[in-house]
């Protein structure tokens, strides 16, 4: 916030100490004094608009707000010191030429400098909507408008009720989900580099909604490409709790053509348990002939990528806004909007929204732009309706999956967005290349171009 | 603008004579700050002969680099007359007027072929951004006659100043202003609209090294003439969805 002189004087009169910490009261960027920052629970600043999460959605909404009106006072709260991308990260696991950790990691200094919002690196610990306060590990931040773009968490407890906290922690160390960037991808990459012959097992969440629905299948393709290149003997086994495969026809065509001996996709395989000592996964395979309707099966792994069911980031629960009753607990929206149904001063974007649009990086970017439009019009006192309410948005989402190396080839899906009267919905379309098959080297180039472009959008 | 008009304006007031010709041209095209005049450059074919309007094939993507040696421009004879005086808006909300195509039927247009969204552009290796003919459809747009960027699927109405009409792009493509001489040869004189040159030079350092011996060279302005070829000769692979 830009505190006015009278307020500043009032504060100054209250106590000498307050005057001493003025710099941190008016803005909580990284220049904040550690003395006041160390005391969580102390008010450190107030901003007109506070965004929680500096991922694809959060960085977009912050940038777009400043673009629409440079006088907007925008603070982004982000727990990580550096950014790492989940989109495109499977090419890192597949060891595609020219892709390394630096491809995925970006610093936040650049976008803060370029776009003029502020950023506070802190973890949100609770949200008090009645007082309009966000409690963080570096103190209390007050807001007038809050945008939640916190992304996902994992729901191990819901999926594996019998697992102890210790077991969950252990599984996260040895078989990370690698949908939340950072250490998880680094662990998985190390394990793949270290592995000798054997199987890589990837499990697909059993809940319908999870971040980046093609991710497990792209990952399987990229790891298969890697094993082929390295001459590693073994299979990539996908245990899919349902029979749904995003971009299914395109992935299955690729597996048949390129990885017939490597990729094995198993439908209706519900993971039950993992034994890290014997490196075995136990799962139930649907079988109507059996008494219980399933067979108990086991599979040995060298590397396990257990992708657990997803749930909205804990930030959503902290905010107390209404969520859907499914496992994901999506934020219920206020009609054709990115405002929450519960609180007109709280917005949500990215993976957590309850609209029927895919949880992808590109969609998060789109929702960020829509939300910035809504908030900017509101702050300027102008009426506003999202464009999608009137006319369908062509290719609102485009999502590429790299499926092979030497030559690099990829597949894609686009989603047209439209308003159906209760939700914004996406209708998917998976095109074939002119060659008559789905994958193509042109799409692989497009994959790289898309990633470079969206990184420029967020960071440059 | 033809030569006669140009003279008429100059003749209208004595004061203007003292101003350099490019400044006058600039005033004529720009009602806002979104016009910038660059070197006046004649378009030549690969053999070095000046190209005339009559040489242009209809609805064919032609490329020349302008106003910098590394910034591609796409020139088109759209066959149909373009709209006139189209009001366009940059993503900063700044408005400007696109006057329309040149040539007898106002069918010839040129646009800076750097996507206003995330800078996709034709390179010698591949092109994600180009004109799609009227009878064709793409995933980006439900009709043809548009410039399409197949990187993030944005489209731009070619006959209306490349106004952004679908996809994530939130601004038009900048247009390259053309002048036709009495002998029907074609000149590029400036750029109208929200150009992306600054961002472009920031973003593609390795590419400039590969194609233009580095960024310093890539940032040089084109002078006197530019070679214009069909996109299929300019790039190895056209990528379009």
Look up the pTM and report it: 0.84
A298 and A331: one domain?
no
CA dihedral of A42, A350, A223, A189, whole degrees rounded to 10? -10
Other beta carbons within 10 angstroms of residue A98's beta carbon come to 8
Of A394, A453, A454, the CB nearest to B140: A394
Contact A443, A400 (CB under 8 A): yes
Q: Identify the weakest region by mean pLDDT among A29-33, A234-238, A366-370, A435-439.
A: A29-33
Other beta carbons within 10 angstroms of residue B182's beta carbon come to 8
- Between CA A91 and CA A87 the distance in angstroms is 9
Q: How far is CA A326 from CA A210, A269, B45, B54, B74, in A?
A: 12, 21, 63, 65, 50
pLDDT at B92: 81
Tell me the average pLDDT across A372-378.
98
Residue A118: beta bridge partners?
Answer: A75
In a domain, A71, yes or no: yes
Contact B65, B72 (CB under 8 A): yes
Phi-psi region of A124 (alpha: psi -120 to 50; beta: other; left: phi over 0): beta
Query: Up-side HSE of residue B99: CA atoms within 13 Å toward CB?
Result: 17
Q: What is the CATH number of the domain that holds A216?
A: 3.50.50.60
Domain containing B109 equals 32-238
Mean pLDDT of chain A: 91
Q: Chain B residues contacting A, CB < 8 Å?
A: 91-93, 115, 117-120, 126, 128, 139-142, 150-153, 155, 166-168, 170, 199, 202-203, 237, 239, 241
Tens-digit pLDDT profile for residues A204-259: 999 889 999 999 999 999 999 999 999 999 999 999 999 999 999 999 999 999 99
B15 and B115: one domain?
no
Of A67, A431, A460, the CB nearest to B202: A460
Contact A371, A402 (CB under 8 A): no
Q: Which residue of B has its CA nearest to A363?
A: B168
Return phi, psi of residue A124, to 5°: -75, 130
Low-confidence ranges of chain B (pLDDT < 50): 1-24, 26-27
Domain count of the fold of chain A: 2
- DSSP annotation of B125 reads S
Contacts of B199 in chain A (CB under 8 A): 456, 460
B11 and B104: one domain?
no
A331 and A300: one domain?
no
B102 and B50: one domain?
yes
Inter-chain contact B152–A414, Cβ cutoff 8 Å? Answer: no
Best B137, B149, B150 member to test A by mutation, with max A CBs in 10 Å, is: B150
Grade residue A112 by pLDDT with cuts at 50, 70 and 90: very high
Domain containing A9 equals 5-151+313-388
CA distance A186 to chain B (A): 27
Best A453, A455, A457 member to test B by mutation, with max B CBs in 10 Å, is: A453
- Between CA B202 and CA A426 the distance in angstroms is 34
Q: Which residue of B has its CA nearest to A67?
A: B92
Q: Identify the weakest region by mean pLDDT among A51-65, A74-88, A120-134, B3-17.
A: B3-17
**CB neighbour burial string for A393-432, b if at least 16 within 10 angstroms, e if fewer:** bbbbbbbbbbbbbeebbbbbbbbbbbbeeebbbbeeebbe
The interface residues of chain A toward chain B in range 416-435, judged by CB-CB distance below 8 A, are: 429, 431
Nearest to A337 by CA among A440, A419, A407, A408: A419
B9 and B90: one domain?
no
A122 and A221: one domain?
no
Q: What is the CATH number of the domain that holds B119?
A: 2.102.10.10
Contacts of B118 in chain A (CB under 8 A): 452-454, 456-457
H or E stretch at B65: strand B62-65
The interface residues of chain A toward chain B in range 337-396, judged by CB-CB distance below 8 A, are: 362, 365-366, 369, 393-395
CA distance B219 to chain A (A): 19
Does the pLDDT at position A288 exceed 90?
Answer: no
Tens-digit pLDDT profile for residues A323-363: 999 999 999 999 999 999 999 999 999 999 999 999 999 99
Contacts of B155 in chain A (CB under 8 A): 394
Nearest to B83 by CA among B95, B62, B98: B98
- Between CA B113 and CA B116 the distance in angstroms is 9
Does the pLDDT at position A2 exceed 60?
Answer: no
Grade residue A404 by pLDDT with cuts at 50, 70 and 90: very high
Does the pLDDT at position A83 exceed 80?
Answer: yes
Domain count of the fold of chain B: 2
- Between CA A28 and CA A141 the distance in angstroms is 8
Return phi, psi of residue A324, to 5°: -70, 160
B56 and B23: one domain?
no
Tell me the average pLDDT across A311-323.
98
Contact A386, A374 (CB under 8 A): yes
pLDDT at B14: 34
Inter-chain contact A454–B152, Cβ cutoff 8 Å? Answer: yes
- Between CA A174 and CA A162 the distance in angstroms is 18
Grade residue A44 by pLDDT with cuts at 50, 70 and 90: confident
pLDDT at B241: 85
Q: Which two tokens stand for residue A31?
A: 């220049």
Grade residue A11 by pLDDT with cuts at 50, 70 and 90: very low
A9 and A139: one domain?
yes
Among A388, A414, A438, the domain-final residue is: A388
- Between CA A277 and CA A303 the distance in angstroms is 13
């Amino acid at each position: 916030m830009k505190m006015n002189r009278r307020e500043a004087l009032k504060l100054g009169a209250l106590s000498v100490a307050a005057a001493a910490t003025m710099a941190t009261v008016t803005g909580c960027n990284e220049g904040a004094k550690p003395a006041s920052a160390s005391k969580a629970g102390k008010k450190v600043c107030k901003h007109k608009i506070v965004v929680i999460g500096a991922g694809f959605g959060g960085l977009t909404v912050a940038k777009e707000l400043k673009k629409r009106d440079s006088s907007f006072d925008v603070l982004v709260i982000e727990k990580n010191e550096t950014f790492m991308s989940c989109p495109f990260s499977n090419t890192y696991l597949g060891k595609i030429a020219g892709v390394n950790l630096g491809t995925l990691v970006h610093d936040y200094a650049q976008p803060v400098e370029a776009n003029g919002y502020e950023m506070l690196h802190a973890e949100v610990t609770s949200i008090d909507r009645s007082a309009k306060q966000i409690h963080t590990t570096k103190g209390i931040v007050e807001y007038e408008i809050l945008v939640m773009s916190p992304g996902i968490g994992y729901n191990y407890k819901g999926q594996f009720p019998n697992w102890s906290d210790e077991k969950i922690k252990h599984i996260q160390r040895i078989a990370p989900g690698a949908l939340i960037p950072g250490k998880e991808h680094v662990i998985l990459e190390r394990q793949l580099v270290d592995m000798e012959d054997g199987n890589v097992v990837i499990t697909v969440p059993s809940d319908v909604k999870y971040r980046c629905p093609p991710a497990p299948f792209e990952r399987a393709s990229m790891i298969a490409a890697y094993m082929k290149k390295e001459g590693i003997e073994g299979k990539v086994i996908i245990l899919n709790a349902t029979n749904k495969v995003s971009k299914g026809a395109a992935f299955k065509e690729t597996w048949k053509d390129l990885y017939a001996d490597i990729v094995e996709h198993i439908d209706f395989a519900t993971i039950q348990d993992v034994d890290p000592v014997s490196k075995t996964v136990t799962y139930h395979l649907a079988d109507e002939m059996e008494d219980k309707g399933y067979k108990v099966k086991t599979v040995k792994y060298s590397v396990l990528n257990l992708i657990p069911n997803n749930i909205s980031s804990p930030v959503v629960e902290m905010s107390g806004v209404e969520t859907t009753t499914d496992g994901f607990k999506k934020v219920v929206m206020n009609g054709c909007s990115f405002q929450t149904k519960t609180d007109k001063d709280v917005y949500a974007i990215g993976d957590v929204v309850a609209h029927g649009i895919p949880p992808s990086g590109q969609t998060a970017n789109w929702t960020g732009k829509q939300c910035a439009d809504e908030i900017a019009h509101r702050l300027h006192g102008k009426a506003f309706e999202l464009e999608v309410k009137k006319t369908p948005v062509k290719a609102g989402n485009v999502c590429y999956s790299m499926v092979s190396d030497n030559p690099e080839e990829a597949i894609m899906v686009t989603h047209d967005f439209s308003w159906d009267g209760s939700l914004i919905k996406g209708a998917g379309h998976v095109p074939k290349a002119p060659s008559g098959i789905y994958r193509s080297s042109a799409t692989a180039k497009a994959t790289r171009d898309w990633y470079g472009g969206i990184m420029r959008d967020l960071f440059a | 603008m033809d030569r006669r008009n140009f003279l008429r304006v100059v003749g209208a007031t004595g004061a203007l004579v003292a101003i350099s010709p490019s400044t006058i041209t600039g005033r004529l095209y720009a009602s806002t700050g979104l016009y910038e005049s660059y070197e006046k450059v004649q378009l030549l074919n690969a053999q070095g002969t000046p190209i005339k309007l009559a040489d242009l094939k209809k609805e064919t993507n032609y490329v020349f680099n302008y106003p910098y040696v590394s910034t591609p421009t796409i020139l088109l004879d759209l066959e149909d007359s373009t709209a006139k005086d189209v009001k366009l808006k940059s993503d900063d909300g700044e408005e400007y007027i696109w006057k329309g195509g040149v040539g007898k039927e106002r069918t010839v247009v040129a646009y800076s072929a750097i996507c206003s969204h995330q800078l996709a552009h034709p390179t010698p290796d591949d092109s994600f951004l180009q004109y799609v003919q009227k009878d064709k459809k793409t995933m980006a747009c439900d009709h043809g006659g548009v410039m399409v960027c197949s990187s993030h699927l944005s489209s731009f109405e070619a006959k209306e100043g490349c106004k952004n009409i679908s996809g994530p792009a939130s601004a038009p493509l900048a247009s390259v202003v053309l002048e036709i001489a009495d002998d029907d040869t074609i000149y590029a004189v400036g750029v109208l609209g929200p150009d992306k040159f600054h961002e472009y030079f920031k973003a593609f350092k390795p590419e400039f090294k590969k194609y233009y011996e580095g960024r310093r060279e890539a940032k040089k302005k084109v002078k006197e003439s530019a070679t214009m070829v069909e996109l299929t000769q300019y790039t190895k692979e056209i990528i379009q969805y």
